């Protein structure tokens, strides 16, 4: 493991917490039965899985029967969208042009396949904010709709008022799916107050293991499985459960909730610090999306730098300087697809953008190094 690097790509994935690892290793070492088996080893593993389900449900103010474990956020999104639309024979779906591909591509495919007849895109502004009045217009003018709008954009960090969306959807009897992958474990989600029919989680976004997540399905909604096979997950998701992953997910979410306030304060300070230092040290910056604390996910800061020679090499230059981040640019030509999110907010295609995303493990000392490195790279490459 390269310990001298600075990791600022936590919106993509987070390092496993040591306590999560210990919990998983204990189960790997001592509990090996198949949870579907009726013998003692199977029953004790089934008990662990159901205890984890109860933990997750309790944190969300859900019932255990509303929690279904999946392979991650993409499967959970696909299940909610495909199965929710099929169960209610919905022909009209509403989303935005800056949703995660797990949502956008799934809905586009359903349109191509004729499963839905119309796909509408709610208006968003240059910060990535949803136009709630337009959402209501779309719901008014169509039959019962399926709405899929995320809580926080994974590239910009802009937050959507999902309680408000839920209330609008309830008014028009729409089915509401909310991609909460980026915010699960970072904000409290009370599903009894949030009027969403589906929300999702990917454990690796909150210091849990990769390859596991969950789908919350409101008890008022009845859907059929996406993956058929055995009777696992109460006949809702065929395939032997990822026991170690499920245990790790529950532990990671439990820790995230118990430490949420202190971590939010620490990470918000890091985000504000980097924003202020970059603004001071580098001229002509743009910050994409909302950056105010009450409007933006505190773990994400998206920065557009001045136009520069070989702008597509900015991330590479950061990488060789020991800084892990992600990003891209808006589409500038037919051969350059670019970021669909930056395209969706009409970002300047000539500016390279970097998404810095933080975790509880980052420090201000690291950010000082980042600013110095970025300043040097930009000064050497800015277009005259």
Buried b (16+ CB within 10 A) or exposed e, 184-211: bbbbebebeebbbbbbbbbbbbbbbbbb
Claim to verify: residue 173 and residue 47 sit in the same structural domain = yes
Q: Looking at the predicted structure, is the pLDDT value of residue 331 above 80?
A: no
Claim to verify: residue 239 and residue 264 sit in the same structural domain = no
100 lies in some domain: yes
Domain final position from 204, 238, 258: 258
214 lies in some domain: yes
Claim to verify: residue 70 and residue 102 sit in the same structural domain = yes
225 lies in some domain: yes
Claim to verify: residue 245 and residue 364 sit in the same structural domain = no
- What residues form DSSP beta bridges with 324? 7
Average pLDDT over residues 272-280: 98
151 lies in some domain: yes
Claim to verify: residue 131 and residue 244 sit in the same structural domain = yes
- What residues form DSSP beta bridges with 130? 124
- Percentage of the chain beyond pLDDT 90 is 89
| pLDDT, tens only, 58-88 | 999 999 999 999 999 999 999 999 999 999 9
Q: What is the DSSP letter of 80?
A: I
| 302: Cα separation from own chain's centroid | 15
Tokens of 140: 């008014």
Of the pLDDT bands very low, low, confident and very high (cuts 50, 70, 90), residue 379 is confident
Nearest one of 139, 149, 59 to 100, comparing CA atoms:
149
Mean model confidence pLDDT for the chain: 94
Claim to verify: residue 207 and residue 291 sit in the same structural domain = no
The answer to whether the beta carbons of residues 62 and 219 sit under 8 Å apart is: no
Claim to verify: residue 81 and residue 168 sit in the same structural domain = yes
| pLDDT, tens only, 80-134 | 999 999 999 999 999 999 999 999 999 999 999 999 999 999 999 999 999 999 9
Domain final position from 202, 228, 258: 258
Rounded Cα gap, residues 253 and 256, in angstroms: 5
| 44: Cα separation from own chain's centroid | 32
Claim to verify: residue 86 and residue 37 sit in the same structural domain = yes
Q: Which residue has the tokens 């118990």?
A: 258
Claim to verify: residue 205 and residue 264 sit in the same structural domain = no
pLDDT of 333: 39
Average pLDDT over residues 273-292: 96
- Percentage of the chain beyond pLDDT 70 is 95
| pLDDT, tens only, 232-268 | 999 999 999 999 999 999 999 999 999 999 999 999 9
Kindly name the residue from 83, 178, 201, 331 that is annotated as catalytic.
Answer: 331
pLDDT of 335: 39
- The bridge status of strand 213-217 relative to strand 198-202 is antiparallel
Domain assignment of residue 199, given as a range: 18-258
Claim to verify: residue 228 and residue 363 sit in the same structural domain = no
Q: What is the CATH number of the domain that holds 215?
A: 3.40.640.10
Phi, psi at 233, each rounded to 5° = 50, 45
Average pLDDT over residues 167-184: 98
Global pTM reads 0.95
1 lies in some domain: no
272 lies in some domain: yes
Claim to verify: residue 215 and residue 311 sit in the same structural domain = no
Q: What is the CATH number of the domain that holds 377?
A: 3.90.1150.10
pLDDT of 380: 83
178 lies in some domain: yes
Rounded Cα gap, residues 301 and 148, in angstroms: 24
Q: Looking at the predicted structure, is the pLDDT value of residue 332 above 50?
A: no
Domain final position from 215, 237, 258: 258
Of the pLDDT bands very low, low, confident and very high (cuts 50, 70, 90), residue 311 is low
Average pLDDT over residues 287-315: 89
Tokens of 100: 């995660």
Q: How many domains does the chain have?
A: 2
pLDDT of 329: 57
Claim to verify: residue 253 and residue 281 sit in the same structural domain = no
Q: Is 331 a catalytic residue?
A: yes
């Amino acid at each position: 493991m390269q310990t001298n690097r600075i990791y600022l790509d936590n919106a993509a994935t987070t390092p496993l917490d040591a306590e999560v690892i210990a919990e998983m290793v204990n189960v790997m070492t001592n509990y090996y039965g198949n949870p579907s088996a009726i013998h003692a080893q199977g029953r004790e593993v089934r008990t662990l899985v159901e205890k984890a389900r109860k933990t997750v449900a309790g944190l969300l103010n859900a019932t255990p029967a509303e929690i279904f474990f999946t392979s991650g956020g993409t499967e959970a999104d696909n299940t909610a969208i495909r199965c929710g639309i099929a169960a209610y024979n919905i022909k009209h779906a509403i989303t935005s042009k800056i949703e995660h591909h797990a949502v956008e591509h799934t809905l586009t495919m359903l349109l191509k396949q004729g499963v839905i007849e119309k796909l509408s895109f709610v208006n968003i502004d240059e910060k990535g904010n949803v136009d709630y009045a337009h959402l209501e217009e779309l719901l008014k003018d169509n039959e019962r709709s399926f709405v899929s709008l995320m809580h926080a954009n994974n590239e910009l960090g802009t937050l959507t008022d999902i309680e408000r969306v839920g209330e609008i959807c309830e008014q028009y009897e729409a089915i509401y799916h909310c991609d909460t992958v980026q915010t699960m474990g970072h904000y409290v989600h009370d599903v009894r107050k949030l009027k969403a029919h589906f929300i999702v989680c990917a454990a690796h976004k909150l210091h849990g293991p990769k390859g596991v997540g969950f789908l919350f399905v409101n008890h008022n909604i009845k859907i059929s499985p996406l993956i058929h096979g055995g009777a696992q997950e109460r006949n809702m998701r065929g395939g032997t459960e990822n026991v170690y992953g499920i245990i790790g997910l529950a532990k990671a979410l439990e820790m995230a909730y118990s430490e949420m306030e202190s971590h939010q304060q620490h990470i918000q300070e890091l985000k504000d610090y980097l924003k202020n230092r970059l603004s001071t040290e580098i001229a002509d910056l743009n910050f994409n999306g909302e950056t105010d604390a009450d409007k933006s996910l505190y773990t994400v800061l998206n920065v557009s730098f001045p136009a520069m020679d070989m702008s597509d090499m900015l991330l590479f230059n950061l990488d060789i300087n020991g800084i892990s981040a992600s990003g891209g640019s808006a589409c500038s030509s037919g051969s350059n697809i670019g970021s669909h999110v930056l395209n969706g907010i009409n970002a300047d295609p000539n500016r390279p953008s970097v998404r810095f995303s933080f975790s509880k493990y980052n420090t201000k000392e690291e950010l000082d190094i980042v600013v110095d490195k970025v300043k040097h790279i930009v000064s050497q490459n800015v277009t005259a």
